Amino acid sequence: MFQRIWSLIIKELLASARDPQTRWVVLFSPPFLLVIYAFAITQEISSVTLGVHTQDRGVEARELISRFEGSTTFEEILYLRRDADITAAIDSRSVDLVLRIGPDFSRQLERGEPANVQLILDGRASNAAQILAGYSGRIVQDFNEDQATALGVPTLTKVVTRVWYNPNLDPLWSAVPALFAVLTAIVGFMVSALSIARERELGTFEQLLVSPLRPTEILIGKAVPALMIALASATAMLILGWLVLDVPLRGSLLLLYASMIIYLAAIIGIGLFISSLAATQQQAVIGLFIYMMPAVLLSGYATPVANMPDWLQALNESNPIMHFIVISKAVYMKDAPAELFFHHTWPMAVIAVVTLTAGAWLFRRRVS
Amino acid sequence: MPGPLIQIDQLSKRFDKGALAALDSVTAHVNAGEVTGLVGPDGAGKTTLLRLIAGLLVPSTGKITVNGLDPVTDSGAVHRIVSYMPQRFGLYEDLSVQENLTLYADLRSVLGSDREEAFERLLGFTGLAPFTNRLAGALSGGMKQKLGLACALIKKPDLLLLDEPSVGVDPISRRELWRMVYELVDQGIGVVWSTAYLDEAEQCARVLLLNEGALLYAGSPQDLTDRVAGRTYQIRHIDTDRREVLSEATKLATVIDGVIQGSRVRLVMAEGADPPNLAPLNAGLAAEISQIPPRFEDAFMDLIGGGFRATSPFADREDSAAHTMNQVVEARALTRRFGDFTAADKISFEVGRGEIFGLIGPNGAGKSTTFKMLCGLLQPSEGSARVVGLDLQNAPSKARGRIGYMAQKFSLYGDLSVQQNLDFFAGVYGLTGKSRKDAISQMIETFGFADRLDVNAMGLPLGYKQRLALACAVMHDPDVLFLDEPTSGVDPRTRREFWTHINAMVANGVTIMVTTHFLDEAEYCDRMALIYRSKMIASGSPDELKDRARASGMMDPTLEDAFIALVEQSDREREAA
């Protein structure tokens, strides 16, 4: 029995290694994509143009503007003469935001009265707008505190921010662990979902079914090589993340690999299940995408799971990608406790057992 | 008389630099108003030539003219006079028969009353009128080809190119297709009919015989057949094993080719050679040899220098103690339903040790369904299928280890080398250690793989692919070998080699189950079951089936004649009931 499974494993690995398509798509492209995506999705805002429209020539107004000028965030400052220019500048995207200071600003401050400044943002780029609002708010806050000190008014509450686990809020540090989880899933999905459908299309699957191989043996012989390939690809991504992207890995590698094997078992189980339903590779790919799109979108990769409605969160418990993103982030950014691993691995183990069993059962059924 | 319709001059086509030429300096012509057969095995270059004529490929060197026009530079003009029906005609399976016709009429801008007239003519011509609302995907293989032909004829062409129109078509539909083509020829259309079946060559006015990209012969099929006139013989009334008689006969230097025809053996002798003496062939006392009319295939074999002559190394293989059962395959009231449709209806037969049993019948009649139930790929709805005394559907994997299976399309792993394919199947069948080594090296030796071990299976020539598929299926010395359409599209020489190996295995007690729609191949069977409309309508030896056709008044029926007679008889009985 072991010899039969062994032969199948060797065959699968050889076939993947000798097929240039599999080699490139599966083995080499994910690490490559990791690097590309990591830079593409970075949330840092750079080369920002600030528009300034001021009707106040007072000292305070000039002081505030010079603080904006001094910030490294704003690469270029565009002075807008008329009120009407603001709309045109925002519309044509020649500025990303506009700081607008009314005629009474300096006078009111001098009198010790509260004064307003307006910040106009471009809501079409909502994410950037939010970040820029944050930056600008901090500049204004610093300005405020200094003004208060100058007037001899004590600042009542001062916010002191410390970001744990990612002290510089480096966006790569949170993007890479999530991407790592998603790309590992894609490799596992592709290898497993195509494997049975391809054999069925070529007619070799019948050859396997009439051989002494039992359905469980076929299943193991299909799942193990897929696991090995996905693990190899994942390892390449880990090394790249560490060496090229400079993202530190703080947690236990042992626990990461242990949970990754369970994660991949669940992923491959789903892939093989889809594959045994499909009659052709094309059907398998379509089936895979129907599953993968929502699974990735709901995984917490793009938006926080905690913001989703309760029923969707409950549904998400059956999404292995969601579980592994939690584990991956935890391992990358902090030394996560073993309970967290356990809490997120057992649902994946259940998914693996269910889908792998269903896959083996379907092998026997779906012979046309 | 006007010049030929197609003139081909020193035409070559290479797909890759350095690769073998798909066509190698072919010079030929095709006349209007007759059927030209483009005959040759798979990979001979038939499709390439048709696509070059249709202007879908550009020649590497040489020239073609169609009606004086160059298919590449004058493609518009050539497309107006040429209709090309590719191997799998571009039917839209989700559209009905009528919708397909309308679509092709639109594409060819056949409009108004011309269109109505064309539809009426073609539906009548093809007999598809009652099925206009049926989806093309739901048609049988023969009806699909007829619809394909109708679509190709929407606008009457000067030249009709048909690429293997008879593949997947049962003998009855095949005769109808030929009748339709003759009608077109009578209207002055030039038809090129490509085929891998040599018997179809005899129905053409002229043939272009291709092999491995080279033109072997151009001319009337009769002229070629006449070359072997007086050299074809049949040995009858053999009361020993006809397979051994054949094997002995092909050892003689004077015998160019030999095949089994039911209980008889057909031989082609070398030029000037006398018919062989029967005594050394061990054919028995009653055996007699007589001259019979030659066939095109005899001449083809003569042209390529004869059939496969070596004896199969399987003949020397130790008879394993395992092949001892008497009833090896047993089908009892085997029934399979798919929804409302009964694909196989109460089929029963028994096959003994060392027998070759064939399942024959039109496509979609239920022979594949029956075959799959027998080898455990499909669960019967009712009845039972037992192989070596065990129900394969529920049998332990050990029972499956006693059968071998060779699928229609030579299910090998194309990305793996010959060696890796052999290693894999040896492993899957549980061969270990020395027995594994021995089995693999025996296969390498038997089939001459030694200098191709590192070649990917995908890159092998068709004949080698078939050898490798057979090697993988028999490496573990099975009791029963299941062959699903084993030699479709294979050249006659490779087919003979294949059956030489099979016959040698049978002599050692291996039982063979084979499905085929190729009735020449069915001649190798000891017995066969004819499956039609999900039922077994006849069974027996090839001679017994031919006798039943004789009973209905035919003189010297071929197995195909017998097949058609039995099917028509079954249709009449069904209508009467």
Residue B383 identity (one-letter amino acid): G
The whole-angstrom separation of Cα B66 and Cα A144 is 89
The whole-angstrom separation of Cα B358 and Cα B376 is 17
Name chain B contacts of A214, Cβ cutoff 8 Å: 397
Report whether pLDDT(B459) > 70: yes
Same domain, B454 and B495: no
Residues belonging to chain B: 577
ipTM: 0.78
Chain A residue with minimal CA distance to B395?
A212
Q: Which of B162, B195, B224 is the last residue of a domain?
A: B224
Dihedral sign (CA A142, A144, A148, A154) = negative
A76 touches chain B (CB under 8 A): no
DSSP label of B408: T
Same domain, B63 and B200: yes
Of B265, B255, B263, the C-alpha closest to B290 is B265
Our CA angle for B518, B524, B527, nearest 5°, is: 100
Which residues span the domain enclosing B439?
A: 412-477
Our CA angle for B362, B366, B371, nearest 5°, is: 110
A138 touches chain B (CB under 8 A): no
Same domain, B380 and B449: no
Same domain, B325 and B339: yes
Tell me if B154 sits within 8 A of B122, measured CB to CB.
Answer: yes
Contact B411 A213 (CB under 8 A): no
Lookup: tokens for A77: 């400052």
pLDDT for res A338: 82
Report whether pLDDT(B319) > 90: no
The mean pLDDT of B493-501, rounded to a whole number, is 87
pLDDT for res B529: 93
| Helical (H) or strand (E) element with A323 | helix A320-333
Name chain B contacts of A10, Cβ cutoff 8 Å: 423-424, 427
Name chain B contacts of A217, Cβ cutoff 8 Å: 397
Contact B456 A18 (CB under 8 A): yes
Domain count for chain B: 4
Q: What sections of A77-151 are H helices per DSSP?
A: 83-91, 105-110, 126-151
Residues 6+ apart with CB under 8 A from B40: B46, B196, B209, B210, B211, B491
Burial class of residue B380, CB neighbours in 10 A (0-12, 13-18, 19+):
buried
Name chain B contacts of A204, Cβ cutoff 8 Å: 407, 411-413
Picking from B405, B415, B466 by the largest number of A CB atoms within 10 A of its own CB, the best residue to mutate is B415
Name chain A contacts of B405, Cβ cutoff 8 Å: 206-207, 210-211
pLDDT for res B199: 84
Percent of the residues in chain A that have a pLDDT greater than 90, as a whole number: 33
The mean pLDDT of A223-252, rounded to a whole number, is 89
Report whether pLDDT(B140) > 50: yes
Q: Which of B477, B506, B527 is the last residue of a domain?
A: B477
pLDDT for res B89: 62
Q: Is residue B545 part of a domain?
A: no
Dihedral sign (CA B532, B538, B543, B547) = negative
Of A212, A55, A340, A333, the C-alpha closest to B429 is A212
Task: Tell me the nearest-neighbour CA distance from B553 into chain A, angstroms.
Answer: 41
- Nearest-by-Cβ selection for A212 from B401, B407, B420: B401
Tens digit of each residue's pLDDT (9 = 90 or more) over B10-36: 888 888 776 678 888 889 999 988 999
Report whether pLDDT(B433) > 50: yes
Tens digit of each residue's pLDDT (9 = 90 or more) over A118-160: 999 988 888 788 888 888 988 998 888 888 888 777 767 777 7
The whole-angstrom separation of Cα B236 and Cα B161 is 41
Instruction: Please give the backbone phi and psi of residue B308, each rounded to the nearest 5 degrees, phi first.
Output: -80, 125
Chain B residue with minimal CA distance to A2?
B430
Lowest mean pLDDT, pick from A251-255, B49-53, B84-88, B530-534: B84-88
The whole-angstrom separation of Cα B522 and Cα B525 is 5
Name chain A contacts of B481, Cβ cutoff 8 Å: none
Same domain, B69 and B178: yes
Q: Is residue B497 part of a domain?
A: yes
Domain ranges of chain A: 2-41+170-365, 48-151
Q: Is residue B558 part of a domain?
A: no
Question: If you search the block for the tokens 């995984």, which residue do you land on?
Answer: A299
Report whether pLDDT(A357) > 80: yes
Question: If you search the block for the tokens 């518009």, which residue do you land on?
Answer: B76
Report whether pLDDT(B322) > 60: no
Same domain, B76 and B216: yes
- Nearest-by-Cβ selection for A212 from B378, B398, B424: B398
pLDDT for res B2: 59
Chain A residue with minimal CA distance to B478?
A211
Query: What's the pLDDT band for B213 if we cut at 50, 70, 90?
Result: confident
Tens digit of each residue's pLDDT (9 = 90 or more) over B534-573: 899 999 998 898 888 787 777 778 888 888 888 888 888 8
Same domain, B389 and B416: no
A23 touches chain B (CB under 8 A): no
Report whether pLDDT(A366) > 60: no
Same domain, B162 and B302: no
Instruction: Please give the backbone phi and psi of residue B427, each rounded to the nearest 5 degrees, phi first.
Output: -65, -45
Window A:216-255, CB contacts with B under 8 Å: 217
The mean pLDDT of B240-268, rounded to a whole number, is 87
- Domain of residue B231, CATH code: 3.30.70
pLDDT for res B209: 92
Of B67, B33, B42, B64, the C-alpha closest to B51 is B64
Lookup: tokens for B308: 């496969």
Same domain, B299 and B348: no
pLDDT for res B232: 92
The whole-angstrom separation of Cα B48 and Cα A321 is 49
Q: Is residue B560 part of a domain?
A: no
The whole-angstrom separation of Cα A226 and Cα A189 is 9
Same domain, B58 and B196: yes
The mean pLDDT of B454-468, rounded to a whole number, is 85
- Nearest-by-Cβ selection for B407 from A15, A207, A214: A207
- Nearest-by-Cβ selection for B397 from A3, A207, A213: A213
- Nearest-by-Cβ selection for A202 from B375, B400, B411: B411
Lookup: tokens for B237: 């009334």
The mean pLDDT of A272-300, rounded to a whole number, is 91
- Domain of residue B363, CATH code: 3.40.50.300
The whole-angstrom separation of Cα A297 and Cα B167 is 48
The whole-angstrom separation of Cα A244 and Cα B334 is 65
Contact B428 A208 (CB under 8 A): yes
Fold entry, domain A48-151: abc type-2 transporter like fold (3.40.1710)
The whole-angstrom separation of Cα B417 and Cα A302 is 44
Name chain B contacts of A209, Cβ cutoff 8 Å: 376-377
Contact B407 A206 (CB under 8 A): yes
Question: If you search the block for the tokens 């499974």, which residue do you land on?
Answer: A5
The whole-angstrom separation of Cα B574 and Cα B82 is 42
Residues 6+ apart with CB under 8 A from A87: none
Contact A10 B401 (CB under 8 A): no
Lookup: tokens for B366: 């239920």
Same domain, B66 and B172: yes
